[in-house]
């Protein structure tokens, strides 16, 4: 059962790659461009820590790790489940019709039907900086892979949740764009900056902590309780996202509803 | 056993209502108002396996909504549906293995890839063996005459070529039922005819049932034996195409231009003159094929002067529907069954929305 | 209420337009385009408000970051800036970035999909048209961003800097947008020669963030890097106007605007040349 779906997913990813290969130059430009983009962005933190040394116990090395894990997690989502960034528009525009007429799980099919190869640049950036700067052995790489995948799961689940609101709101692309923005922004800052309500929000409503700081901490020091917390959060969020999406599917209008201007 | 059985199907949409302008936007933000739109309003019919059934109606009549419910895309508001033994919205995936769908306005082929790549992906989606997929592609390539197109990226195909590939893709897994929603939209006459020929051929060769929606009566005329006409979410007609033709596609409209001016009071026997243009060169007239055969009218028009140009038009779908409503009145209550009734189930006949005086 | 009687047009107004110089008529044209877009964006206050959420998120993060940083540094001033000044600086820098004219992306799109060919035969300058549209949109969004971001910072760090500097900042900000528009248009026009320009846009925006001082004022940079950064166009796009906002003074303004005009002449000239070259290619190749 699961193996059949995996085979299907592989076929889908292959088709995505084939489509990208129709535009090879663009593919390379996106991958390399995204790596440079991240590197320049990170340079801002180099300047910051050059001046201030550390802030709330965080140093440049912690930021390297945070950026590496978050970029890899986000990159994996963008490459493997690229439609997670555009699903609200797919829903509102009646784009689910195609997936609904085919005998495969709708959500996975929608999400994986598009690969954003900028994300591959994110993954390359993450893996490279981790390898070069974080002084890592094989077991560290295993922790890194685990942390990044869990970061991806949280990101995908949260975005599915937000984008599914399109079933109720009609259009949720603004909200979704803002949510991606907010999630990534918060994920890329030291969690120690926030306390009280702010911290609580980042572990719940806007689970940026589980995209950035928590996986990064797990990569640094693996402990079973920390792993259980992150994995638990990731799968709880995923379960919630699945429920909401399938609830929403019952209300799907397939672009058939007429908007009446009075 | 019927391939499709639909009973009292209903679907309502909530449509947001907003007054024009800034104030309207603000008001809608504060307290959104909704109108309910009855897209499907009590439709019922049956379709036999292997049948070629046409489903026509003007835009917004509810035909696409019905087809989307039949495929499991939409949940109905009420009613019973059985497609090949499945309830579509409950067993969407199981049903999907047995049906093929083409939505004319929603391409399923990957735009940047050659069609054959999508075919192969579909093979995985439908869990077919690679060898089976290869054989099937081969057979479809011949049937649809698309062998030379399969390796070209879809974006470089013409609309007609693309649509042939679309229909072929939907048949890859040898479905028992093919649902086509506006397959000929935007195509020119030749491309339309090719699609129709192929569909007819496959229906005969593989026994695949075809349910076809269109707002072009021509599609139905050349493909289907039976036709259902919907309007405002209800069935207004469900019978043989030949009956429809005999009863309602009888009035023709002709426009002619002469090289010389026709005299005032110009008439042609067996026709009704609608208009004589300025100077008497152009004439519009109408006639009923039951009373006056086409060849007689053409002969009489040609005899009257030197013809420069001539067009003959069928009545539009809207005119046909109006005609159906008009003739339906005396028959009201006489509807005696599903497919054989001259006019469909009673509910649809009584009060056509908007047509009552 | 009595309905107003229709007013007959004043004699001579019809002809007045024809008597104006071509330059004046052309300026009126772009002003009208600008005003139309301004009205259109302003017609969707909910949309503008929703877009202003971003700046609230960013400023909220910055408040936490810089409060902690100033605490850790144990000084009330870092490189001559207080915490409040740093935060107001960041509000303005973010406002410039978040409200900057968007049609630059539309230009890239038009080049890429070839629809630019249909815009060539219109009686206006392609670049000026898009900038006028963008500016109309930008001003409305700027108000939304300043109000949203400013309210948060005011609440946390106290009142904004001297209001007498605001008109100067508005001028500097408009010029900053013009420079940025030129840069992004230039990148979009690269579409005539390469098929992928998105990557260049990402990198440009990050370089702008870094050397424009979007997240860290250039004052906090190491000396060598700061000297270089201050001379680049990015500093004239973000750092200059934002710094002017915090400590307004006429000399700073004069220096800033001079530099902005020089960069604008260069970038704008390049963009115009690239546009002409691109169009020539297009008309020769038939799009």
Print the domain residue range for B172.
Answer: 4-10+42-246
Q: Is the same domain home to B105 and B225?
A: yes
Lowest-confidence pick of A158-162, A185-189, C107-111: C107-111
Is there a contact between C43 and B26 if contact means CB atoms under 8 Å apart? no
Residues of chain C neighbouring A41 (CB-CB closer than 8 A): 206, 209-210
Phi, psi torsion values for B178, nearest 5 degrees? -115, 125
- Calculate the average pLDDT of chain A: 91
Query: For position B282, which CATH number holds?
Result: 3.30.70
Q: What is the ipTM of this complex?
A: 0.86
SS3 content of chain A, % helix, strand, coil (to 5): 75, 0, 20
Q: Is the pLDDT of residue C11 over 50?
A: no
Tell me the shortest Cα–Cα distance from B271 to chain A, in angstroms. Answer: 42
Per DSSP bridges, beta strands B234-240 and B272-276 are unpaired
**Across the A/B interface, how many CB contacts are shorter than 8 Å?**
98
Q: Is the pLDDT of residue A36 over 70?
A: yes
Is there a contact between A252 and B75 if contact means CB atoms under 8 Å apart? yes
Q: Which of residues 151-180 of C touch B (CB under 8 A)?
A: none
Residue A256 pLDDT grade (very low, low, confident, very high; cuts 50, 70, 90): low
Which residue of chain A comes nearest to C63, CA vs CA?
Answer: A193
Specify the pLDDT at position B44.
94
More confident residue, B221 or B78: B78
Q: Does residue B34 lie within any of the structural domains?
A: no
Is there a contact between A258 and B121 if contact means CB atoms under 8 Å apart? no
Q: Is the same domain home to B237 and B264?
A: no
Residue B349 makes CB contacts below 8 A (sequence gap 6+) with: B236, B328, B329, B331, B332, B333, B335, B343
Q: Does residue B183 lie within any of the structural domains?
A: yes
Tell me the shortest Cα–Cα distance from A254 to chain C, in angstroms. Answer: 25
Specify the pLDDT at position C128.
86
Residue C243 pLDDT grade (very low, low, confident, very high; cuts 50, 70, 90): very high
What length is written for chain A?
Answer: 262
Residues of chain A neighbouring B68 (CB-CB closer than 8 A): 97, 254, 256
- In this predicted model, what pLDDT tens digit does every residue of C35-48 receive, in sequence order? 888 887 887 787 78
By Cβ distance, the residue of C203, C216, C220 closest to A37 is C203
Closest to B168 (Cα-Cα) out of B119, B97, B107, B117? B119
* Most confident of the following: B52-56, B101-105, C23-27: B52-56
Q: Is the pLDDT of residue B214 over 90?
A: no
Which residue of chain C comes nearest to B25, CA vs CA?
Answer: C44
Query: Which of A97, A112, A117, A259 should one mutate to test binding to chain B, selecting the residue with the greatest count of B CBs within 10 A?
Result: A97
Is there a contact between A56 and C68 if contact means CB atoms under 8 Å apart? yes
Q: Does residue B129 lie within any of the structural domains?
A: yes
Under a CB-based contact definition with an 8 Å cutoff, are residues B262 and B280 in contact? yes
Tokens of B2: 């019927």
By Cβ distance, the residue of A23, A44, A185 closest to C210 is A44
Specify the pLDDT at position B344.
39
Tell me the shortest Cα–Cα distance from A130 to chain B, in angstroms. Answer: 35
Residue B339 pLDDT grade (very low, low, confident, very high; cuts 50, 70, 90): very low
Which residue of chain A comes nearest to B38, CA vs CA?
Answer: A257
Q: Nearest 5°: CA angle at C197, between C191 and C199?
A: 170
Phi, psi torsion values for B188, nearest 5 degrees? -80, 175
Query: For position B218, which CATH number holds?
Result: 3.40.50.300
Specify the pLDDT at position B88.
93
Specify the pLDDT at position C125.
79
How far apart (Å, rounded) are the C-alpha atoms in residues B166 and B148? 15
Is there a contact between B93 and A15 if contact means CB atoms under 8 Å apart? no
Q: Is the pLDDT of residue C13 over 50?
A: no
SS3 content of chain B, % helix, strand, coil (to 5): 35, 30, 35
Q: Is the same domain home to B197 and B275?
A: no
Q: Is the pLDDT of residue C12 over 70?
A: no
By Cβ distance, the residue of B15, B73, B101 closest to A254 is B73
Q: Is the pLDDT of residue B319 over 80?
A: no
Under a CB-based contact definition with an 8 Å cutoff, are residues B180 and B52 in contact? no
Tokens of C62: 């910055």
- The distance from CA B159 to its chain's CA centroid, rounded to whole angstroms, is 18
What length is written for chain B?
Answer: 357
CA distances from B85 to B6, B42, B55, B70, B98 (A): 12, 21, 21, 12, 11
Which residue of chain B comes nearest to A23, CA vs CA?
Answer: B112
- In this predicted model, what pLDDT tens digit does every residue of B167-200 receive, in sequence order? 999 999 999 999 998 888 888 888 888 888 888 8
Residues of chain A neighbouring B126 (CB-CB closer than 8 A): 102-103
Q: CB contact, 8 Å: C236 with chain A?
A: no
By Cβ distance, the residue of C69, C202, C210 closest to A43 is C210
Is there a contact between A98 and B113 if contact means CB atoms under 8 Å apart? no
Specify the pLDDT at position B333.
38
CB atoms near residue C248 (< 10 Å): 18
- In this predicted model, what pLDDT tens digit does every residue of A209-250 receive, in sequence order? 999 999 999 999 999 999 999 999 999 999 999 999 999 999
Specify the pLDDT at position A231.
97
Specify the pLDDT at position A134.
65
Is there a contact between C50 and A40 if contact means CB atoms under 8 Å apart? no
Under a CB-based contact definition with an 8 Å cutoff, are residues A43 and A133 in contact? no
Is there a contact between A37 and C199 if contact means CB atoms under 8 Å apart? yes
How far apart (Å, rounded) are the C-alpha atoms in residues B31 and B27? 6
Residues of chain B neighbouring A261 (CB-CB closer than 8 A): 18, 20
What length is written for chain C?
Answer: 287
Specify the pLDDT at position B289.
83
CB atoms near residue C254 (< 10 Å): 11
Under a CB-based contact definition with an 8 Å cutoff, are residues B223 and B52 in contact? yes
Q: Is the same domain home to B58 and B75?
A: yes
Under a CB-based contact definition with an 8 Å cutoff, are residues B57 and B237 in contact? no
Is there a contact between C216 and A44 if contact means CB atoms under 8 Å apart? yes
Residues of chain C neighbouring A118 (CB-CB closer than 8 A): 198-199, 202
Show the beta-strand stretches assigned E in chain B.
Answer: 4-18, 33-47, 52-56, 78-83, 99-103, 177-181, 209-214, 226-231, 234-240, 251-258, 272-276, 282-288, 307-313
Tokens of B266: 């110009």
Among B203, B226, B246, where does a domain finish? B246
Under a CB-based contact definition with an 8 Å cutoff, are residues B195 and B163 in contact? yes
Lowest-confidence pick of A211-215, C184-188, C244-248: C184-188
Q: Chain B interface residues facing chain A, Cβ-Cβ under 8 Å?
A: 13-20, 35, 37, 39, 60, 64-65, 68, 71-75, 92-94, 96-97, 99, 101, 103, 106, 108, 110, 112-113, 117-118, 120-121, 124-127, 153
Q: Is the same domain home to B223 and B280?
A: no
Q: Is the pLDDT of residue B302 over 90?
A: no
Specify the pLDDT at position C96.
96
How far apart (Å, rounded) are the C-alpha atoms in residues B297 and C40? 58
Query: Which of A30, A37, A48, A60 should one mutate to test binding to chain C, selecting the residue with the greatest count of C CBs within 10 A?
Result: A37
Q: Is the same domain home to B120 and B242?
A: yes
* Most confident of the following: A126-140, B330-344, C88-102, C179-193: C88-102
Among B196, B224, B246, where does a domain finish? B246
Is there a contact between A22 and B113 if contact means CB atoms under 8 Å apart? yes
User: What total number of domains does chain C contain?
Assistant: 1
Q: CB contact, 8 Å: A12 with chain B?
A: yes
Q: What is the DSSP letter of B152?
A: S
Specify the pLDDT at position B28.
60
| Share above pLDDT 90 across residues of chain B, in percent, rounded to a whole number | 27
Closest to C100 (Cα-Cα) out of C204, C254, C253, C231? C204
Specify the pLDDT at position B249.
75
How far apart (Å, rounded) are the C-alpha atoms in residues C165 and B69? 63
Q: Where are the alpha helices (DSSP H) in chain C?
A: 13-19, 22-42, 45-51, 53-73, 83-99, 103-113, 126-157, 166-189, 198-212, 223-231, 233-234, 240-246, 250-285
Tell me the shortest Cα–Cα distance from C43 to chain B, in angstroms. Answer: 6
Burial grade of B238 (CB within 10 A; 0-12, 13-18, 19 or more): buried
Is there a contact between A102 and B65 if contact means CB atoms under 8 Å apart? no
Q: Does residue C222 lie within any of the structural domains?
A: yes
Residue B357 pLDDT grade (very low, low, confident, very high; cuts 50, 70, 90): very low
Tell me the shortest Cα–Cα distance from B25 to chain C, in angstroms. Answer: 8
Chains that touch B (3 or more CB pairs under 8 A): A, C
Average pLDDT of the segment spanning B308-317: 82
Print the domain residue range for C40.
Answer: 28-285
Specify the pLDDT at position B336.
36
How far apart (Å, rounded) are the C-alpha atoms in residues B156 and B149? 10
Q: Is the same domain home to B184 and B73?
A: yes
Residue B343 pLDDT grade (very low, low, confident, very high; cuts 50, 70, 90): very low
Specify the pLDDT at position A249.
92
Closest to B144 (Cα-Cα) out of B193, B199, B92, B99? B199
Under a CB-based contact definition with an 8 Å cutoff, are residues C170 and C160 in contact? no
Among B246, B262, B282, where does a domain finish? B246
How far apart (Å, rounded) are the C-alpha atoms in residues B310 and B284? 10
Which residue of chain C comes nearest to B27, CA vs CA?
Answer: C46
Lowest-confidence pick of B15-19, C220-224, C249-253: B15-19
Q: Does residue C22 lie within any of the structural domains?
A: no
Lowest-confidence pick of B173-182, B243-252, C217-226, C248-257: B243-252
Q: Is the same domain home to B68 and B171?
A: yes
By Cβ distance, the residue of B73, B97, B126 closest to A100 is B73
Tokens of A226: 């920390």
* Most confident of the following: B236-245, B301-310, C18-27, C239-248: C239-248
Which residue of chain B comes nearest to C39, CA vs CA?
Answer: B22
Q: Is the same domain home to B268 and B217?
A: no
Is there a contact between C46 and B29 if contact means CB atoms under 8 Å apart? yes
Q: Is the pLDDT of residue C121 over 70?
A: no
- In this predicted model, what pLDDT tens digit does every residue of B136-169 receive, in sequence order? 999 999 888 899 999 998 888 998 899 999 999 9
Query: Which of C94, C156, C199 should one mutate to test binding to chain A, selecting the residue with the greatest count of A CBs within 10 A?
Result: C199
- Calculate the average pLDDT of chain B: 82
Q: Does residue C167 lie within any of the structural domains?
A: yes
Tell me the shortest Cα–Cα distance from B7 to chain C, in angstroms. Answer: 44
Average pLDDT of the segment spanning B77-89: 94
Q: What is the pTM of this model?
A: 0.81
Burial grade of C120 (CB within 10 A; 0-12, 13-18, 19 or more): exposed
Which residue of chain C comes nearest to B23, CA vs CA?
Answer: C43
Average pLDDT of the segment spanning A202-210: 94
Specify the pLDDT at position C105.
67
Q: Is the pLDDT of residue C284 over 60?
A: no
| Share above pLDDT 70 across residues of chain C, in percent, rounded to a whole number | 87
Under a CB-based contact definition with an 8 Å cutoff, are residues B322 and B290 in contact? no
Specify the pLDDT at position A116.
92
User: What total number of domains does chain B contain?
Assistant: 2
Specify the pLDDT at position C122.
67
């Amino acid at each position: 059962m699961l193996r059949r779906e995996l085979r299907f997913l592989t076929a889908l990813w292959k088709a995505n790659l084939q489509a990208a290969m129709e535009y090879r130059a663009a593919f390379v430009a996106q991958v390399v461009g995204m790596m440079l983009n991240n590197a320049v962005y990170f340079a801002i933190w180099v300047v910051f820590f050059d001046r201030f040394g550390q802030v709330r116990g965080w140093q440049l090395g912690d930021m390297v790790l945070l950026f590496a894990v978050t970029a890899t997690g986000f990159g994996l989502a963008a490459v493997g489940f690229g439609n997670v960034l555009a699903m609200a528009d797919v829903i509102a525009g009646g784009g689910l019709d195609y997936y609904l007429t085919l005998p495969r799980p709708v959500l996975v099919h929608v999400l994986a039907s598009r690969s954003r190869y900028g994300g591959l640049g994110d993954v390359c950036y993450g893996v490279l900086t981790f390898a070069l700067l974080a002084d890592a052995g094989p077991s560290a790489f295993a922790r890194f892979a685990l942390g990044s995948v869990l970061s991806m799961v949280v990101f995908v689940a949260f975005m599915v949740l937000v984008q599914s609101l399109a079933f109720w709101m009609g259009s949720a692309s603004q909200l979704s764009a803002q949510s991606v923005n907010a999630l990534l922004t918060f994920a890329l800052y030291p969690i120690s900056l926030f306390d009280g309500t702010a911290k609580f929000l980042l572990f719940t409503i806007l689970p940026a902590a589980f995209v950035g700081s928590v996986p990064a901490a797990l990569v640094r020091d693996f402990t079973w309780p920390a792993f259980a917390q992150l994995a638990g959060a990731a799968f709880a969020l995923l379960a919630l996202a699945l429920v909401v999406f399938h609830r929403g599917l019952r209300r799907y209008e397939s672009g058939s509803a007429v908007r009446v201007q009075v | 056993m019927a391939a499709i059985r639909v009973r009292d199907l209903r679907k309502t949409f909530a449509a947001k209502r907003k007054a024009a302008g800034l104030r309207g936007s603000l008001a809608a933000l504060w307290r959104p108002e909704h109108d309910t739109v009855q897209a499907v309003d009590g439709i019922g019919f049956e379709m036999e396996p292997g049948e070629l059934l046409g489903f026509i109606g003007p835009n917004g009549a509810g035909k696409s909504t019905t087809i989307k419910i039949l495929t499991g895309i939409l949940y109905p508001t009420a009613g019973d549906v059985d497609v090949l033994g499945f309830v579509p919205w409950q067993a969407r995936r199981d049903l999907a293995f047995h049906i093929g769908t083409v939505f004319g306005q929603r391409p399923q082929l990957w735009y940047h890839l050659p069609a054959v790549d999508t075919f192969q992906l579909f093979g995985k989606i439908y869990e077919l063996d690679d060898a089976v997929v290869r054989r099937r592609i081969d057979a479809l390539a011949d049937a649809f005459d698309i062998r030379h197109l399969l390796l070209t990226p879809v974006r470089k195909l013409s609309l007609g070529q693309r649509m042939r590939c679309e229909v072929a893709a939907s048949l890859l897994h040898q479905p028992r039922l093919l649902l086509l929603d506006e397959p000929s939209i935007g195509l020119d006459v030749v491309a339309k005819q090719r699609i129709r020929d192929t569909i007819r051929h496959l229906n005969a060769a593989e026994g695949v049932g075809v349910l076809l929606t269109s707002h072009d009566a021509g599609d139905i005329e050349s493909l289907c034996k039976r036709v259902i006409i919907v309007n405002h979410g209800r069935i207004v007609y469900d019978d043989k195409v030949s009956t429809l033709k005999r009863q309602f596609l009888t009035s023709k409209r002709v426009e002619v231009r002469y090289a010389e001016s026709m005299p005032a009071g110009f008439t042609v026997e067996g026709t009704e003159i609608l208009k004589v243009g300025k100077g008497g060169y152009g004439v519009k007239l109408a006639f009923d094929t039951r009373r006056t055969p086409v060849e007689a009218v053409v002969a009489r028009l040609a005899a009257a002067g030197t013809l420069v140009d001539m067009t003959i038009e069928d009545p539009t779908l809207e005119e046909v529907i109006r005609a159906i409503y008009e003739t339906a009145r005396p028959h009201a209550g006489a509807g005696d069954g599903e497919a054989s009734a001259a006019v469909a189930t009673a509910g649809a006949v009584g009060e056509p929305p908007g047509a009552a005086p | 209420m009595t309905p107003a009687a229709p007013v007959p047009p004043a004699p001579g107004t019809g002809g007045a337009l024809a008597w104006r110089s071509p330059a004046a008529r052309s300026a009126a044209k772009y002003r009208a385009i600008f005003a139309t877009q301004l009205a259109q964006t302003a017609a969707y206050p909910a949309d503008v408000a929703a877009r202003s959420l971003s700046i609230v998120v960013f400023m909220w993060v910055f408040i936490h970051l810089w409060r902690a940083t100033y605490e850790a540094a144990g000084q009330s001033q870092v490189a001559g800036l207080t915490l409040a000044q740093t935060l107001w600086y960041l509000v303005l820098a973010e406002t410039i970035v978040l409200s900057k004219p968007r049609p630059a992306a539309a230009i890239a799109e038009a080049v890429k999909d070839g629809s630019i060919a249909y815009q060539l035969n219109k009686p206006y300058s392609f670049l000026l048209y898009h900038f006028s549209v963008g500016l109309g949109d930008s001003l409305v969004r700027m108000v939304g961003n300043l109000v949203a971001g400013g309210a948060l910072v005011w609440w946390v760090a106290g009142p904004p800097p001297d209001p007498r500097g605001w008109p100067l900042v508005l001028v500097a900000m408009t010029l900053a947008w013009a420079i940025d528009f030129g840069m992004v248009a230039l990148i979009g026009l690269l579409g005539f020669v390469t098929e992928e320009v998105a990557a260049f846009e990402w990198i440009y925006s990050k370089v702008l963030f870094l050397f424009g001082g979007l997240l860290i004022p250039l004052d906090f940079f190491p000396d060598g890097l700061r000297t270089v950064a201050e001379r680049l166009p990015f500093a004239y796009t973000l750092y200059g106007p934002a710094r002017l906002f915090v400590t307004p003074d006429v000399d700073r303004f004069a220096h800033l605007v001079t530099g902005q005009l020089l960069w604008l002449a260069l970038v704008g000239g390049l963009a115009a040349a690239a546009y002409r070259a691109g169009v020539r290619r297009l008309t020769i190749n038939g799009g």
